[in-house]
A and B are shown apart, each in its own frame.
Chain A
């Protein structure tokens, strides 16, 4: 897998991270090295193997549709870096 600086920038954009100019090259090389190692998986024959997302055959775990009292708002807002008493504040979102 050939990792380019453009790909690193694309991934950083998707994950809302900045890769500083000085770090880009190192990060590119590092990811390339790690992914090159991941390629050992290519040697494993997985023809016809169903991808396993859940390890147990547990299914249909459901809740009843019964109201549980909501949490006190001041507790939910207590940890916010920018609350205004009733909501979480963010910079203007542009539509």
Chain B
């Protein structure tokens, strides 16, 4: 049995059956990290000793384990708070901050018997599409070390693709799970806003941020989401489950049953292809691979429906206005007083703030803070921020309309495959525009998944995005599962950073 080739569920099964010990699995993962992460830079912090200790403890309870992921080694994006373990958001300003609390999602994973290998590289404060804005240096794409793994959960995607752990937890504000999943050839899902607690997720844009997994395949995604989803009383935007006694009106979710729903049967499912998402600016190889994916789904009995989605051009500006506005406020707390890094030399309070923030934040973060400050400032609020909130309402209504006509939407994840390192940093606007297919999903709070659907001429993975209506995770995962029963793109593994 080659552990590297197993999915998280398969490894969980082997652990349960006693075919492999949790310590063996953790050690194998740590060995892979030691061998390959020097090149990939997917991790900011590796907690090897902790992982082995934890593995040993968990092994004692393996017989009573009720989670299919019990004992499976994984890793966390470094914007998820971990008690006593450095949580940096890939920023200088957080210094060696080790929170005195775990994020809600981290607690749930711990209860399900997850073994964390450490904290993953990302764009600073999740602001970026390539993981190059990290204070700890860029993460690299295991398919081509000269290319970016995507972002902002680039370390997570690179780690899963390269076998540094069996799954990873990322966050997605405008595509930060789906786009790196696409660039690295793994499967990643951003669930419906409110289904996974944001408590302990260091906020970038509170109304858009959502936690989700990056995995080897859709079944693993379903299993991890089953663990992650659930109401958390510490997050007022977290949604109640069908069985919760929470009395107020509002949507309710059936948690914990996604894995059971993976039948692979998608006969009669109507899959919408928004023509606006296949127009100008889309790389030919990407277009061809996604259209081919549609045909595969059709082959499993789905019905393809063409439709128009004319609000697409408004998604990127509305997204950046809202995200930057919230970010400018969320990141104000980093001031060198309560935690993290403080500038060495300053003259008085105002200067302490200015020096700490100016030296502690990278250029992209500062750019977005200034943008966000602008759109909220006196005299511009209505023209920008309010207008963006209106555009958000229009975009959500457009999705509501689309889901009247079909069950799921299929689109590209990004206009191109992974860019070369350095290419995007020189032109921020171009980088923003590359988020065109992913950001509208966050504005509308929808679930969406990225799955590998081919390679371009350079041997780089291509991803297809499945978008569902609110709480449509089950339908999305089942369609992806059906696709993966027919294809093996998700089983390809990269060699980058592998000394062997």
Q: List 29 A-B contacts (CB under 8 A).
A: A15-B357, A17-B370, A27-B367, A27-B370, A31-B371, A35-B371, A37-B432, A38-B317, A38-B321, A41-B314, A41-B391, A46-B391, A49-B393, A50-B393, A52-B389, A52-B392, A55-B193, A55-B207, A56-B193, A56-B194, A57-B249, A57-B250, A58-B250, A72-B100, A79-B340, A81-B340, A82-B342, A91-B346, A93-B349
**In the complex, B338 has a CB within 8 A of chain A:** yes
Determine the chain A residues whose CB is within 8 A of the CB of B432 once the complex forms. Answer: 34, 37
Determine the chain B residues whose CB is within 8 A of the CB of A56 once the complex forms. Answer: 193-194, 237, 239, 250-251, 445, 470
With both chains docked as a complex, state the minimum distance between the C-beta of A67 and any C-beta of chain B, in angstroms.
Answer: 15
Mask for A64-91, Cβ within 8 A of B = 1, else 0?
Answer: 0000000110011011111000001011
Determine the chain B residues whose CB is within 8 A of the CB of A90 once the complex forms. Answer: 337, 349, 352
CB pair A38 B391 closer than 8 Å? no
Within 8 A of B (CB), among A3-49: 7-8, 10-12, 14-18, 27, 30-31, 33-35, 37-42, 44, 46, 49
Instruction: Give the contact-size bracket for chain A.
Output: 35 or more
CB pair B357 A16 closer than 8 Å? yes
In the complex the two chains form, what is the Cα distance from A59 to B247 in whole Å? 11
In the complex the two chains form, what is the Cα distance from A59 to B384 in whole Å? 26
With both chains docked as a complex, state the minimum distance between the C-beta of B280 and any C-beta of chain A, in angstroms.
Answer: 15
With both chains docked as a complex, state the minimum distance between the C-beta of B147 and any C-beta of chain A, in angstroms.
Answer: 25
Apart from A14-B373, A41-B388, A71-B100, 13 more pairs, CB < 8 Å: A18-B354, A18-B358, A27-B367, A31-B370, A34-B320, A34-B428, A37-B317, A51-B389, A52-B389, A55-B443, A81-B342, A90-B337, A90-B349
CB pair A44 B394 closer than 8 Å? yes
Determine the chain A residues whose CB is within 8 A of the CB of B96 once the complex forms. Answer: 79
CB pair B396 A52 closer than 8 Å? yes
In the complex the two chains form, what is the Cα distance from A23 to B328 in whole Å? 20
In the complex, number of A-B residue pairs with CB atoms less than 8 Å apart: 171
Within 8 A of A (CB), among B187-240: 193-194, 207, 233, 236-237, 239
CB pair B391 A60 closer than 8 Å? no
**In the complex, B429 has a CB within 8 A of chain A:** yes
**In the complex, B275 has a CB within 8 A of chain A:** no
With both chains docked as a complex, state the minimum distance between the C-beta of B24 and any C-beta of chain A, in angstroms.
Answer: 35
Instruction: Give the contact-size bracket for chain B.
Output: 35 or more
What secondary structure prevails in chain A residues at the interface with B?
A: loop
**In the complex, B403 has a CB within 8 A of chain A:** no
Pick the contact of B341: A12, A54, A72, A81 (CB < 8 A).
Answer: A81
**In the complex, B386 has a CB within 8 A of chain A:** yes
In the complex the two chains form, what is the Cα distance from A75 to B46 in whole Å? 23
Among B332, B367, B393, max chain A CB count under 10 A is at B393
CB pair B341 A17 closer than 8 Å? no
Determine the chain A residues whose CB is within 8 A of the CB of B393 once the complex forms. Answer: 46, 49-52
Q: Which 10 A-B pairs have the closest CB atoms?
A: A51-B389, A79-B339, A81-B342, A55-B445, A46-B390, A75-B100, A58-B250, A52-B393, A61-B236, A16-B353
CB pair B370 A11 closer than 8 Å? yes
With both chains docked as a complex, state the minimum distance between the C-beta of B45 and any C-beta of chain A, in angstroms.
Answer: 15
Determine the chain B residues whose CB is within 8 A of the CB of A39 once the complex forms. Answer: 317
